[in-house]
Amino acid sequence: MKVIMHPPTIQSRRLWLTRFKNMSFLLAGAWFSPLTVFAKKEDAAIAIQAITGGTKINQGRVTLVIPPLVENGNLVVLKVSVQSPMTATDYVKAIHVIAEGNPLPNIFTAYLTPRSGSANITTRVRLADSQTVWAIAQMSNGSFWQGSAETLVTLSACTEAI
């Protein structure tokens, strides 16, 4: 028994699969475009609005310390301190840290109680790009206070391929 192969059919199937593969790469490239990965200042403003609910944010009482020049955005030391007596009637309820250039602007939130003793936080964060970072303190009386710092990142994080 002799098997007859039809070369035009096999070639057309291979051609179709090749075109499908190329189209998949094109669509994946458009979906993961760097323009869609980076956050915008508007995203940070929306995150701050969600935290405060439109309440006025006061300047002062919050000190944010971050290096002005960072070589690698993967491990950036960040220190936040809030001036508060931390008593049962006057204390810091939460500290929110927002970075305008990260894909997700709300980096972290730390919740505190009067038993925390002091409102000081030291941690490491990832920064995607050179940007302004804000620390917003939510007080027990419902007021919000903020401090900010700018940093220049030479090697970005958060957007690297894994």
The helix (run of H) or strand (run of E) holding residue 24 is helix 7-31
Three-state DSSP state, 49: helix
pTM: 0.73
Residue 52 neighbours by CB under 8 Å, 6+ apart = 136, 144
Report how far residue 81's alpha carbon sits from residue 69's, in angstroms, rounded to the nearest whole number. Answer: 20
List the domains of the chain with CATH numbers.
38-155 (2.60.40.2470)
Q: Per-residue confidence of the chain (162 residues) as pLDDT tens digits?
A: 666 655 555 567 677 677 777 776 655 555 554 544 555 678 899 999 999 998 999 999 999 999 999 988 899 999 999 999 999 999 999 999 999 999 899 999 999 999 999 999 999 999 988 999 999 999 999 999 999 999 999 887 766 555
